[in-house]
Amino acid sequence: MLRRGASALAMALVGMVAASPALAQSSAESAVESAEDAFGTSTGHESIGVYDEGNVRGFSPGTAGNFRLEGMYFDIQGGLGGRVIDGQTIRVGPAAQGYAFPAPTGVVDLQLKKAGDKLTVAPFLTADSFGGHGLEVDAQIPLSGKALGVSAGIGVYDNHFNGGGASHGYNLGIVPRWRPAPNVEVLAFASHQQFNDDTSGGIYIATGNFLPPRPTRGRYPGPDWTRNDSNSDTVGLIGHANLGDWTIRTGLFRSAYKDNGGFANLIFVDAGGTTDRQVYASPDSASASWSGEFRLSRRFSDGPRQHLLTATVRGRSVDSHYGGGDLVDLGPAGLYEQIHVAKPVFAFTALTDDQTRQTTGGLSYSLKWKGIGEFTAGLQRTHYVKRIAAPGLPLASGTSDVTLPYFSAALTVTPRLAFYGSYVRGLEDAGSAPSYATNANHILPAIRTRQYDFGLRWSPVKDTTVILGYFQISKPYIDIDQTNFYGVLGAQQHKGIEFSLTTNPTKNLRIVAGGVWLDPRVTASPLIAQPLGARPVGQPQLRTRFNLSWTPPFAKTLTLDTYVNHDSGAYGTIDNSVYVPGSTRIGLGARYKFKLGGKDFSAKVTLYNVLDAYQLVSFGAGAYGYNTQRNVQAYIATEF
């Protein structure tokens, strides 16, 4: 999982790039089989869906800070590995109906790994054709029957990336679970993640209104010394008690990220393929936050009607230290050349201190009427304070007090057909400036957002669900301007139609398919002199996902699966003078279950991007990377 402080441009790569072993998505569990819709599901080591934490309806809920952990408000600064996180659900469309205190960009709802009442040890070994490999061992340890148990694990990785780079690292995690009474549960967790010698891939920046010539995928552009170390530490405590008609839920979290100096390989490319290589280096930086929520609910029964009143108080305190970087020109080189130059002496300056304080109170009312539907309405009042102390500049500060209403409704027409709709306002994070901007790594103030959507959920036959919906989201438009400054350029509105199909045509065949047709539009700010096109950068109008899982009736230990992912083209510059073609990627996989020494084993091999489709991926105006080439990942897993 990417840390929240990462730029929205980097987040856009999520879902386009096959996972490295450190983030490998493979196990005996199947996201295809467990998905309730096609909008985004992660289960165990598998992830599928039209949306993910980097892209929901064309925006990033991860960048916006819309994380929840076991339903509780959670500000994440560091990465969370698979030792403590069991899966995630993207709350959007029908999945957000009745969800208390939603957000316009969607919610990434994380679930912790929880110990059961049986002792298990589960090793997981993975490798890929890039040369990477990893070993994970997770255990569930009951300490006192069902009342007390611990889930714990360790993962060790030697990563090799699509861009030719590499890293090595490990993660540790533990999740104690205590259930002192049948309706009371207390969860704690601690996670540490460390990566060393992490090489920085190339960012290809066109020097004019053209697409860069096709680079060689899988070749590291260098230099070799552009490596950094980073670590993340996250701890938390969550409590949940059902006391008759009263419910209490609470969570408190500490999340920290430290980067021991970083580099960005900037490759400025002319139309002929000649490059000028530059490196932006950053000194040590760090960010840390406290966040949490207390929620109290009261349920009232009235015949077929269930009423629920909920009050919440949530907040966060974030301290970040960044900036002070230096840009060095390493000279010209060929597009396909790896450069080998001595490491220069960088002239770092003082860091910027950035503080965010936010407190929110909310009230919500929900009505569930059996056979009729449900209705939810709520109001949040948030107090937001931002202070930035940049070297050589006076202290900059700002305060916002915003009232944020929302409501949602679902109407049951028949047992198989329901209509839904919602409206929500939000105050969300705007991410940070990319490394090639003049204000590199600068964290932008929060922005006001709003969304409404409506649609239908239909089950025409048993084991089949269709969702068809319309949405409209409005936010400020943020990108690089002509002076290479990253900030607000105008207003951005996304209108779209989304579709989901989940079906079991037979008991051995499962299909999950979906897509979104997007009509993104930009309106320039009157303060911006440069020309803006009608379309935002990097927003494809069509995005589709198709997943199939089949267990042949004549070979029940074998499961075959496939995916077909398509993204249409998008504009690569803010004036829309450059268009970046899209691509269709196809993958095939086979999972085989067998016994060895009386133990159950599961082995899987997946071939990603079978036809080796090529696509430039927009990082922002005029800046590009590329998608993952054809590769193979394999794993073997068991449980003792």
Per-residue pLDDT at 461 exceeds 80: yes
Q: How far apart are CA 31 and CA 92, in angstroms?
A: 17
Spacing of C-alpha 195 from chain mean position: 19
Which pLDDT belongs to residue 16? 32
Instruction: Give residue 416's pLDDT.
Output: 94
Local structure of 96: helix, strand or coil: helix
Per-residue pLDDT at 29: 65
Determine the average pLDDT of the residues in 337-347. Answer: 91
Q: What is the secondary structure of 179-230 as a DSSP string? A: EEETTEEEEEEEEEEEEEEEEPPEEEEESSSSPPPPP-TT---S-TT-EEEE
pLDDT of 17 > 50? The answer is: no
CATH number corresponding to 8-338+345-638: 2.40.170.20
Closest CA to 445 of 431, 455, 426, 456: 431
pLDDT of residue 479: 87
Choose the weakest-confidence range: 20-34, 112-126, 415-429, 623-637: 20-34
**pTM attached to this predicted model:** 0.89
Report the run of H or E that residue 361 belongs to, with start and end.
strand 352-369
Of the pLDDT bands very low, low, confident and very high (cuts 50, 70, 90), residue 71 is very high
β-pairing, 41-43 vs 85-91, is antiparallel
Q: How far is CA 312 from the centre of its chain?
A: 25
Residue 5 has pLDDT above 60, yes or no: no
